[in-house]
Chains A and B, each alone.
Chain A
Amino acid sequence: MIRWLLLLLGGVLLGGIVHLATIFFLPRTATQDAYSRLTPIAPVNRVVALPAPAAEKAVMPFMDPAFAEAVCRYDLASGPLKLTVPVSNAYTSVSFYTHNDIAYYAINDRAAGRRAIELDLMTAEQRSELPENEDVTAADLLIVESPTLTGLVTIRALAPEPALMPIAQNIVAGATCAKFNLPSKSD
């Protein structure tokens, strides 16, 4: 009897390890996560407008239908990216996600405080290679450091009323995400 109780206890303990291991490894094996869902429709380093979510037909679950949304699936292997997003009178935001769909940064139109949100996206390594030239750093540029080489940037514009959706769609259609060449140290 005691023997079986001990075996049961061992099984429960081992089960705890199995549970933790599956929780930790699930994000690495998921094939239906947001990044994988967007991969077929979003080419690398380009802004692509996402189709508006409709009943039982959305690219991802839990999309907010009041927003026009575009995505830039980025890969920083070939260099940093420059992001520009025009802003509307309503609410516009840019959110950054790692390859595992974890949000690491977000900024909205009011925080950016200009007519357009302009950002440079790079890895920590690429940032450390930036020349310590005041012209570059003082160009009041916002630099976002990506913890991973690949990831997602979502550009979202709110349509406060359904009739204003075309304006919001125009805003996200005007967003760009493109490669730019860093000024090298020798310059």
Chain B
Amino acid sequence: MRLLLGSLFTLLVAAIVGLGATYLALTRGIAFNSLTIRSWTAWPKTGTTDADPYARASIARTGRLPLALGDGVAFIARRDDIGRALDGRCDVTVSGVTPAARFWTLTLYKPDGELAPNLLNRHSFTSQEIVRRADGSFEITIAPRPNPGNWLPSGGIEHYILALRFYDTSVGVATKEGREIPMPALRVRSCP
């Protein structure tokens, strides 16, 4: 009886720990070899055959095709520069300059990777269509209501994530954190 109880206990602990860790790893998006600059994180190795098992599991579970490293690099932001989750009811600005690339795109997604509905049907900006300041820097405003300049509608959803993708760029596996790579700042301007 004690043996049976003991084994059951061990197996129960194993199931909870094992499956719990898998669930957490996949929902929190744990992957190794990440590259974080300001509030932006990229996983350049996920777009290569060196992708680690966690990245492979996450690719299979979400159903996305990762951006191949020879194509470009995708940076994801879930929080602003001081760590607050991005909220579609607030006015958020993305401003500054970007690393060298032939093109870049900034896209707003729901946390599950779908595009968020909005009246304008605008979900992204490319580097070619934004209005820039005289020094080449830019500011994009993500807000539920129209704003002058580069306005990306948030659709007023509670949480969203931003993907900043660089195409034909030297940013990649060899890029080190903390080295001088300019990434735009993410700031909350106002919140109702």
Main secondary structure, interface of A, reads mixed
Determine whether B27 belongs to the interface, using a CB cutoff of 8 Å to chain A: no
- Interface flags for A12-50 (1: CB within 8 Å of B; 0: not) read 111111111111101100101110110000000000000
> A33 contacts B60, CB within 8 Å?
yes
Main secondary structure of the interface of B (DSSP, over half): mixed
Chain B, residue nearest A104 (CB): B49
Whether A15 contacts B13 by the Cβ 8 Å rule is: yes
Per the 8 Å Cβ criterion, residues 36-69 of B in contact with A are 47-49, 51, 53-54, 56-57, 59-69
Contact A24–B59 (Cβ < 8 Å)? no
Scan residues 98-148 of chain B and give those whose CB is less than 8 A from a CB of chain A.
Answer: 102-103, 105, 107, 109-110, 112-118, 121, 123-124, 126-129
Interface membership of chain A positions 154-172, coded 1 if the CB is closer than 8 angstroms to chain B and 0 otherwise: 1010111110000000000
Asked if B18 and A22 make an inter-chain contact with CB atoms under 8 angstroms apart, the answer reads: yes
Give Cα A103–Cα B172 distance, bound, in whole angstroms. Answer: 14
Q: How many residues of chain A get a CB closer than 8 Å to chain B's CBs?
A: 66
Residues of A within 8 Å of B128, CB to CB, are 160-161
Query: Which of B83-91, B160-168, B182-190 lines the interface with chain A?
Result: B160-168
Contact A24-B103, Cβ < 8 Å, known A14-B18, A18-B17: no
Q: For the side of the interface on B, what is the size category?
A: 35 or more
B176 → chain A closest CB, angstroms: 22
Q: Are A101 and B66 in contact (CB under 8 A)?
A: yes
A108 touches B168 (CB 8 A): yes
The proximity string for B residues 13-36 relative to A, scoring 1 for CB distances below 8 Å and 0 otherwise, is: 111111111100110000000000
> How would residues 101 to 113 of chain A score, 1 for a CB under 8 Å from any chain B CB and 0 otherwise?
1111111101100
Contact A27 B124 (CB under 8 A): no
Chain A residues within 8 Å of B16, by CB: 15
Interface string of A83-122 (1 = CB under 8 A from B): 0000000110101111011111111101100000000000
Tell me if B57 and A37 are in contact (CB < 8 A): no
CA distance A32 to B113 in the complex (A): 14
Q: Taking the nearest CB of chain A, how far is it from the CB of B67, in angstroms? A: 8
Whether B177 sits at the interface, judged by CB under 8 Å, is: no
6 contacts between A and B (CB under 8 A): A18-B14, A18-B22, A95-B65, A103-B49, A103-B70, A158-B103
Report, nearest first, the 8 A-B pairs whose CB atoms are least far apart. A18-B18, A11-B13, A61-B113, A15-B17, A106-B70, A103-B68, A14-B14, A106-B68
